[in-house]
Structure 1
Amino acid sequence: MIKYNNRWNIYPFKQPALAVAVTMIAGTFAAQANADMTFESESGWKAGFNGHIPIFAVMGSYDEPTEEDSFTVTTGFNPATLQTNIYAPTQNGLEVSGHFQMNADIAPGDADVNFRSRVSEIVVAGDFGQVNIGKGFGIFGVPAIGDNGSALGVGLIGGPDQIAATAGRIGNGYFYANFTPRVMYTSNDLSGFQFKVGVFSPSKVDGASDAEYSTPRIEGNVVYSSYMYSLWASAFIQLVDSKTGTFNDFTMSGIDFGGSVSWDNLNVRANYSITSGTGNSVFAARLDPNEEDASQWYIESTYTINQTTLGVSYGEGEDDINSSANDTDLTMIFARYAATDALTLLAEYTILGTNGGQGEYNAFSVGSQFTF
């Protein structure tokens, strides 16, 4: 039995590989892992926390359905985040830890409804690899979501009345992995290759009261990384059945592939994905027994000069349901400046185009992020 000791030491330390991996899996793409403020007992238990606070001023000019100029102060694609990490002493070759993350959007007025937990999980690691048990980030669409533009910035805005976290490149470059209860296995590094596979609680289709979900969603990916480049591919499948036959049973599925390459201070990354039966944004976006196809892709280039990163990206989303009026494209031009290890200043200009004209806008955002 492990005896607790009331004597604790407090010190900052660089996160171990496990903590960094968990942070990235949890969707904390907003900055490179900095430091975990950690307490350690004499018995070997550790407790620490880390997170980030991103704040943006967004000035947008919106077209249909209502022409409107708007100013708001909000979070970007990532909400403000506090993650708590508990590490047990290593026993029998097992590193066991618990991770709990709270997230808050920043909005005018009362934003209590947007204070929530995205991550609550147990992580078990050893010579066999790593197992994540509980609620956390998905597998399909990762690491495409880690682009420098939207992951660190604003990206897609819901409109002039945006009050919650923005949408990055969801539906205009990649399909969103989302946070879902699951059991997920991650392999060790296999000469540059690493794979993940997991069983997930199925996502339920809005408004489909007759639907039943008797099997889990299955997701998996494989990533190859080297000094200069990285390649990845992922896939998922989920069945949606009708209890009484009011709609045809159908399958949600998807596949994506992409990569990034770095040469000195230049980085280029791209991703392409195809989904069926769920739209081009998130799981179970609609009742889709006809299994209409959708696709998303983007390409991004960044260049770093000392503490400044300059970038541009372009991506599109297409959806076969109804008409091409659902097709969109998103252009992003952005700059980041690392004022200190903890403070990043950000600027971004985005343009959303739509085939139907409705919802088009252009916006300029300036902001800062404190990472701890």
Structure 2
Amino acid sequence: MSVAICMTAFNANAALEIYENDGMSFSADGLVNAFYANSSIEKTDAAGVKSDRDQSRVRTGFLPNNIGFNFANQLSDMKIGMRSSFWVSISDADNHRDATPDDLGTGSLIDIRQFYGTVSGDWGELLVGKDFGLLNRANILGDELLLGFGQTSDFFGLVDGGNVSFGNISTGYTYPFPKSQITYRSPDLNGFKLAVGLMDPNKIAKNSSEELPRAEAELVYTTDLDNLGLKAWVSGAVQSSEIEDKKQNQSGVGYGANVKFSGFSLTASGFQTKGLGHIAGLDHLVGDDSIKTDGYLVQAAYTLDSNRFVLTYGETNVENTNSILDATHSNAGIAYFRTIRPGLTAVAEYNQTKADVSNSLVGEENNTISIGAVFTF
């Protein structure tokens, strides 16, 4: 299945028109997936003691199951739109036998990641509400494993976690966590599209002060040259926090490029952050500016008829200048996607995830084989 269809799972490009009349429309889109995954994990703890275990799961893949609803109304030269999407994990089995009775049972982790309105015209679009962030947005949307499984590092508790697998979050990019925002997107300007947003800031601590909102931006360029398609992007984020009269500045930049030709898709992307995305690559968990993170992701994919083959490698490095606990997380994988029918894709995947927390003898090698199916409409 193409990356364009993968992006549909994140964006309001609905596949099913429910109502359309006189400029007004209502549509829906959805995704359901489930994977069988078997992980073989070897770990070394802080005391240098080695251990290993095998774990089988039937769980959600990288994308949670979701359903979205879209409304649009064309009013002369202005279009008003709204989108809401609800995301659900099926990885809610009895994971911990020592849990209290209140913690057992099904939870589903219903998550509202998009709930926004838009106003658009020849001048561009204004989005108000909750949507994914702009920093590293194109990095994650361009991930060839978006409809697959990806990494499940036991270092982050992902093997037995009740949420999703992680794709290449923390092994190549940070997650553009959904945020309350006011974002302007420009019209197409000779292949360039610019987005600039004011986001609800992320607090460094309960008693921290953020005088200004978080600012994020993204610039994307797309073009077709004969039989070659090119997409390139750069994104960024800045915010400031103050705690106990000490000011902390958080910032990040993401970038990448994708080239498509003759069935091949080649992607290279990277990022650097300061004080952002230092915990499992989640950019809403803000730290102080002594924590620096950088990473990259390289992928090659080939599509032949209904078959898509993917090779991937991603790595993230975390440096804490106030601590000896630096870390490197990486993921290497191979995946096969087979479109059985439009809206039904079978996936087989192998990932080797490694974690190395230097100077503390903490290490992990996690080999995971996963097989699953993805339904979309």
The TM-score range, normalised by the shorter chain, is 0.7 to 0.9
8 A contact 1:34–1:371 mirrored in 2: no
- Match in the other structure for 2:266: 268
- Match in the other structure for 2:100: none
Residues 309 and 215 (structure 1 numbering): CA distance in 2 closer, same or farther, change over 3 Å? same
Cα distance between partner residues in 1 of 2:138 and 2:284: 21
Asked if 1:101 corresponds to 2:80, the answer is: no
Asked if 1:68 corresponds to 2:68, the answer is: no
Shift of 1:111: 3.8
- Match in the other structure for 1:285: 285
- Match in the other structure for 1:15: none
Residues 147 and 362 (structure 1 numbering): CA distance in 2 closer, same or farther, change over 3 Å? farther
- Match in the other structure for 2:68: 83
8 A contact 2:8–2:14 mirrored in 1: no
Query: What's the CA shift string for 1:78-131, capped at 9, x where partnerless?
Result: 10010011122x113111111110110012253425112111000111111111
Asked if 1:216 corresponds to 2:217, the answer is: no
Moved more, 309-318 or 104-113: 104-113
The one-letter amino acid of 1:105's match is: S
Cα distance between partner residues in 2 of 1:236 and 1:287: 14
SS in 2 for 1:59: strand
Residues 159 and 46 (structure 1 numbering): CA distance in 2 closer, same or farther, change over 3 Å? closer
8 A contact 1:55–1:76 mirrored in 2: yes
Cα distance between partner residues in 2 of 1:154 and 1:124: 35
- Match in the other structure for 1:120: 115
Which structure carries more strand by proportion?
2
Shift of 1:210: 2.1
SS in 2 for 1:282: coil
The one-letter amino acid of 2:111's match is: R
- Match in the other structure for 1:341: 342
- Match in the other structure for 1:35: 15
Shift of 1:143: 0.8
SS in 2 for 1:160: coil
Cα distance between partner residues in 1 of 2:124 and 2:165: 34
The one-letter amino acid of 1:187's match is: S
Shift of 1:179: 0.5
8 A contact 1:75–1:164 mirrored in 2: yes
Paired-residue identity, %: 24
Query: What's the CA shift string for 1:167-212, capped at 9, x where partnerless?
Result: 111121112111011011111111111111000001223xx22211
Cα distance between partner residues in 1 of 2:325 and 2:300: 28
What is the TM-score with the length of structure 2 in the denominator? 0.85
Cα distance between partner residues in 2 of 1:25 and 1:234: 20
Query: What's the CA shift string for 1:305-358, capped at 9, x where partnerless?
Result: 111000101011001113465111110110100001110000110011122453
SS in 1 for 2:303: strand
Asked if 1:178 corresponds to 2:169, the answer is: no
SS in 2 for 1:144: helix
Cα distance between partner residues in 2 of 1:309 and 1:278: 34
8 A contact 1:222–1:234 mirrored in 2: yes
Moved more, 340-349 or 158-167: 158-167
8 A contact 1:34–1:341 mirrored in 2: no
Cα distance between partner residues in 2 of 1:197 and 1:296: 23
Residues 25 and 190 (structure 1 numbering): CA distance in 2 closer, same or farther, change over 3 Å? farther
Map 1:229-244 to 2 at 5 A: 229-242=230-243, 244=244
Cα distance between partner residues in 2 of 1:181 and 1:80: 22
Residues 163 and 195 (structure 1 numbering): CA distance in 2 closer, same or farther, change over 3 Å? same
Shift of 1:162: 2.4
Cα distance between partner residues in 2 of 1:295 and 1:114: 30
8 A contact 1:149–1:155 mirrored in 2: no
- Structure having greater relative contact order (Cα 8 Å, sep ≥ 6): 2
8 A contact 1:337–1:346 mirrored in 2: yes
- Match in the other structure for 1:298: 297
Shift of 1:292: 2.6
Moved more, 107-116 or 70-79: 107-116
Cα distance between partner residues in 2 of 1:86 and 1:167: 30
Structure 2: state its 5+ residue gaps.
46-50, 95-104
8 A contact 2:293–2:317 mirrored in 1: yes
- Match in the other structure for 1:6: none
Cα distance between partner residues in 2 of 1:79 and 1:57: 15
What is the TM-score with the length of structure 1 in the denominator? 0.86
- Match in the other structure for 1:3: none
Residues 111 and 28 (structure 1 numbering): CA distance in 2 closer, same or farther, change over 3 Å? farther
Cα distance between partner residues in 2 of 1:364 and 1:312: 15
